[in-house]
Amino acid sequence: PALGMAQHQLLARAAAQPEVLQWHTWASLNPGPALVVMGAVHGNERSGAIAIARAIDDFQHGRLMLQRGRLTLVPVANPLAFRQNTREGERNLNRRFVPRGDPQDYEDRITRQLAPLLAAHDALLDLHSFHTPGDPFAMVGPRNNSGPREPFARAAEEMALARALGAPQVVEGWLDIYDRAARARGETPDDEGIGTNEYMRSQGGYAVTLESGLHDDPEAVEVAQRALYGALAHLGLASVPAPPRFAGAAARLKEVVLRDAPGDRLLQDWHSFDRVAAGEPIAERADGTPVVAQQAGCVLFPHPEADVGQEWFYLAEPGSADA
């Protein structure tokens, strides 16, 4: 999508200085919630960065005004990956998002800067896109619980934010299903499944990921921008038109299937949210063994060319509309 000169320059500066993180903060004298919005956690997912650059320009030129609370916009969370137009700089920033005293790589150094920024806010909106066709969706975390893995007490606020973003779907239950993938690989779940959202919850806040659509689809930018403005409207931070709220049932991740061999293949061109019936064949192993849905639901995140041992596709079941 066409960018104004100021917006283009903002993103160009971020790409030109991979050792510098840039963000913009507005603080109102009127009390209210603190929201942080991030783009380009994965460098080839550019729709969020463009949407945030537009919003920065709107605030800087008075087309938008902060009415209460605090707002921080981070257009490019991973400058090296953004400059390379790759998912990662040296590794996936959205895994092992835990600040370390002895950073080992580029993303560790980013995490040391971003972690305290996230902890200083109440809510996070993390803007992403995906590599295979499908409908946009918002992703939330666990339901309220006091368990040892991801205790949480703000599920209602998190779901309300997710429903306000204008996405046609909401999905819940990331970390539990990611841990299942680790166990399927014979690994013990650890910090690998901790991303920006999980870290935000560990610090007492709440977080929503918005998957805006196919990486290079211009409409993904519009989806990301509607979500950003939907969050501003929902939290009362700015006077902007709110997109329609999602009122349907949230899908809940229930199963993850790994690719075991190069000869494993999906049986059709699956898209996220394609419906499947119980017992329906979805894929075939290299030895001809069918992989079938264990229950009725839908396919999520199909990745036909996934590396061996990595997530091939997920299955979700419909949840309750008031979850």
pLDDT, tens digit, 9 for 90 and up, residues 8-18? 899 999 999 99
The angle, 0 to 180 degrees and rounded to 10, between the axes of the packed helices 5-16 and 47-60 is 120
25: buried, middle or exposed (CB in 10 Å: 19+, 13-18, 0-12)? Answer: middle
pLDDT of residue 322: 47
How do strand 70-74 and strand 24-27 relate by DSSP bridges? Answer: antiparallel
CA distance 116 to 200: 10
Give the residue from 113, 30, 130 showing the smallest Cα distance to 77. Answer: 113
Helices (H), the chain: 5-16, 47-60, 79-84, 106-119, 155-163, 174-184, 196-202, 218-234
CA distance 58 to 63: 5
pLDDT in tens, 17-28: 999 999 999 999
Residues 6+ apart with CB under 8 A from 255: 177, 180, 294, 314, 315
Interval 79-95 mean pLDDT: 96
Phi, psi (deg, nearest 5) at residue 225: -70, -40
Give the residue from 40, 41, 35 showing the smallest Cα distance to 11. Answer: 40
Q: How confident is the model at residue 174 (pLDDT cuts 50, 70, 90)?
A: confident
How many other CB atoms are there within 10 angstroms of residue 155's CB atom?
Answer: 18
Q: Taking 80 as the threshold, does the pLDDT of residue 318 lie above it?
A: no
pLDDT in tens, 204-262: 999 999 999 999 999 999 999 999 999 999 999 999 999 999 999 999 999 999 999 99
Q: How confident is the model at residue 185 (pLDDT cuts 50, 70, 90)?
A: confident
Interval 283-293 mean pLDDT: 97
pLDDT of residue 4: 82
First to last CA, the chain: 36
| 3-class DSSP assignment, residue 25 | strand
Q: How confident is the model at residue 189 (pLDDT cuts 50, 70, 90)?
A: confident
The first and second tokens of residue 217, run together, are 């689809």
pLDDT in tens, 128-165: 999 888 899 999 999 999 999 999 999 999 999 999 99
pLDDT of residue 68: 98
Torsion of CA 171, 116, 36, 96, to 10 degrees: -30
Phi, psi (deg, nearest 5) at residue 135: -80, 145
pLDDT of residue 7: 87
pLDDT of residue 47: 96
- Where residue 40 falls (left for φ over 0; alpha for ψ -120 to 50; beta otherwise) is left
CA distance 169 to 275: 13
Phi, psi (deg, nearest 5) at residue 196: -60, -45
The first and second tokens of residue 181, run together, are 């993938």
Give the residue from 235, 70, 69 showing the smallest Cα distance to 161. Answer: 235
CA distance 193 to 162: 21
CA distance 254 to 108: 30
Give the residue from 296, 314, 134 showing the smallest Cα distance to 217. Answer: 134
| 3-class DSSP assignment, residue 26 | strand
Q: How confident is the model at residue 2 (pLDDT cuts 50, 70, 90)?
A: low
Residues 6+ apart with CB under 8 A from 153: 144
pLDDT of residue 51: 97
Q: Taking 90 as the threshold, does the pLDDT of residue 53 lie above it?
A: yes
Tell me which DSSP letter residue 134 carries.
Answer: B
pLDDT of residue 321: 46
